[in-house]
Amino acid sequence: MKSLKRSGARLTLLAVAIAAFSDAGSALAEPIDVGNPDIQLRWDNTLRYNIGMRTQKKEKALSQSATQQIGDNKFDRGDIVTNRLDILSEMDFVYKERYGARVSAAGWYDQAYDDKAEGLQAYQNAGIPAAYSDNKYTGSVKRYYMGPSGEILDAFVFGGFDLGTTPVNFKLGRHNLYWGESLFSFVNSISYAQGPVDIRKATATPGIEAKELFLPLNQLSVQTQLTDRVSMAAYYQLQWNPNRLPEGGTYFGTADFLFQGNTTFPIAPGFGVPYEGDQHTPKNSGAWGVNTKWNSEALGANVGFYYREFSDTMPNVVGVFDANGVPTSFYNKYAENVRLYGVSLSKQVGPVSMGAELLRRENTALSSIAGSPDFARGDTWHALVNAIAYFGKTPLWDSAPLQAELTYSRLDKVTKNRDFYNEKGSFGCPSQSGGKGDAKDGCSTRDALGMQIAFTPTWFQAFEGVDLTLPLTYGMGLYGTSPVTGGGNEGAGNYSIGIGADYLARYKVDLAYNGFFGPITTNFNPVVGQNTVATSSGGTPLLRDRGWLSLTFKTTF
């Protein structure tokens, strides 16, 4: 555990590093002159430092749970939960404004984490195994949460050519695509599983826009303008990667043994089952999609039509059992050969920019009972509608953008493994308070409705060279539990309240309080002698005692 006082020396060193980078960066912020007017070259770097402190005390029903004992006890109230330095470096090369290449890379180091992943003594005394062997994180967790480490992000070439009078543009290599009109939802949208999603970032940053979460893949994408009102686009992917989920035993992790593997699922005293992470993953090639965009003069709107085939990026935890029905291992399994049909619309209605999507997923993974021999599959409907409005100067603010989105999901039918479907009213999703479970137990309902809103009052030149913002975000499930994982849970959600300062449109500081909420049910746990969590309405209720305060500094040079 890292307290603010104990982190002081390292913070000083990091602050010096930030200052050095910032002072040295002014010359690099402009395009690089290579002496050839046909060549444009840019090298931009974004430095981000984030420190966060846990502000809530532990809720015993969560912190004393056998499956959350590491993550919820890693940090106490007042401890530093992140002390992280990130750098993003981007280089763009353009030749004759039509051909070029882009490469970007990210690096990070978090001083708040060490490699310890220790459980509670009560469970050790009872002979119940801890999730991590030798009470230490796996190599994957250490790489992404501690560092120092890094990765290549974008790495692609692009260009264009003419087919007769029709221009065609393409990208080849590591890049991401984000189709449709969604602002916040990456589950109930046309872009679902169009690439792996960084859900770790989504959990740590309430209200972040969906387009910021997609990670690049090796793929070929093509776009062409057929007429002044009709365009087409297509892609074919050459790589598959899963979503990045908060790892168990970390501050934003839920169950300690999830998700990367090489951990143990504690079942009973003296008995734990290996959790192996990703096994039998989908092949790299085969995912593709096509869309047509039409600018309708009659509707005064842009209309899109979409078709995609892909493998899911969200894991389903399934088990392997011996002849006596005893589990011998658990692992992540992914739905393959999913089909998506969709239509989108975007339109300006007075001062408000409106967007909407309607889509159908076939052969998709349904929310299933974790640890079953397989997972349920079926067909689902999804829809969303959103709005972006800008409020002008008032006595309260100079400007205030508002973003709001309403999402909906509905089960059409279960097509495979209905017994494994996590359905409200079924014996597979019981309530720990007695009887069959409902939405508050995380049991899926036929329909689910959710919302997300972001409102940011802004004051320009509040001080010389300084713009101030007050970013507010709130999201929750309004009704039902989605038939698909991550589609929304009734009464569960997150929020963020912050204040930001932007100096000279180059140095940005944000202070924010971030929290989670949602219902849980409990039952008596004899190992710790009290009630602990039994069921929850999704993942955010399991984090409802981990509210935290974050301070972020960011600059680009």
Q: Which pLDDT tens digit goes with each residue over 87-119?
A: 999 999 999 999 999 999 999 999 999 989 999
Residue 244 lies in a domain: yes
Q: Are 129 and 266 in contact (CB under 8 A)?
A: yes
User: In Å, how far from its chain's centre is CA 240?
Assistant: 17
Q: Are 503 and 466 in contact (CB under 8 A)?
A: yes
pLDDT, position 169:
98
Q: Which domain holds residue 480?
A: 8-556
3-state secondary structure of 256: coil
The residues that bridge with 377 in the sheet, in sequence order, are 365, 416
Under the banding of pLDDT at 50, 70 and 90, the label for residue 432 is low
Rounded distance, CA 148 to CA 314, Å? 27
State which of 200-204, 245-249, 403-407 shows the largest mean pLDDT. Answer: 403-407
Per-residue H/E/C for 513-551: EEEEECCEEEEEECCCCEEEEEEECCCHHHHCCCCEEEE
Residue 3 lies in a domain: no
370, 412, 476, 433: CA torsion to nearest 10: -50
- What's the predicted TM-score (pTM) here? 0.91
Q: Are 481 and 439 in contact (CB under 8 A)?
A: yes
Q: Are 382 and 374 in contact (CB under 8 A)?
A: no
Whole-number percent of the chain with pLDDT over 90: 82
Residue 329 CB neighbours (<10 A):
15
Rounded distance, CA 86 to CA 54, Å? 20
What is the number of structural domains in the chain?
Answer: 1
Nearest to residue 452, comparing CAs of 500, 543, 385? 385
pLDDT, position 535:
87
Residue 2 lies in a domain: no
Rounded distance, CA 287 to CA 341, Å? 14
Residues 38-47 have a mean pLDDT of 95
User: In Å, how far from its chain's centre is CA 118?
Assistant: 26
Instruction: Measure the CA angle with vertex 70, ends 476 and 54; round to 5°.
Output: 55
pLDDT, position 18:
40
pLDDT, position 434:
62
Residue 406 lies in a domain: yes
HSE at residue 542, side-chain half, CA atoms within 13 A, is 31
pLDDT in tens, 226-235: 999 999 999 9
User: In Å, how far from its chain's centre is CA 552?
Assistant: 19
Q: Among 402-411, 449-458, 530-539, where is mean pLDDT lowest?
A: 530-539
Token readout for 503 is 């100096």
Stretch (H or E) spanning 141 = helix 139-141
Backbone angles phi, psi at 399, to 5 degrees: -155, 155
Residues 1-10 have a mean pLDDT of 44
Residue 126 lies in a domain: yes
22, pLDDT greater than 60: no
Under the banding of pLDDT at 50, 70 and 90, the label for residue 29 is low
Rounded distance, CA 492 to CA 505, Å? 36
Bridge-based pairing of strands 271-278 and 327-333 is parallel
Chain mean pLDDT for the chain: 91
Residue 264 lies in a domain: yes
Residue 1 lies in a domain: no
Rounded distance, CA 475 to CA 530, Å? 32
Residue 490 lies in a domain: yes
Greater pLDDT, 455 or 2: 455
Nearest to residue 145, comparing CAs of 241, 248, 14? 248
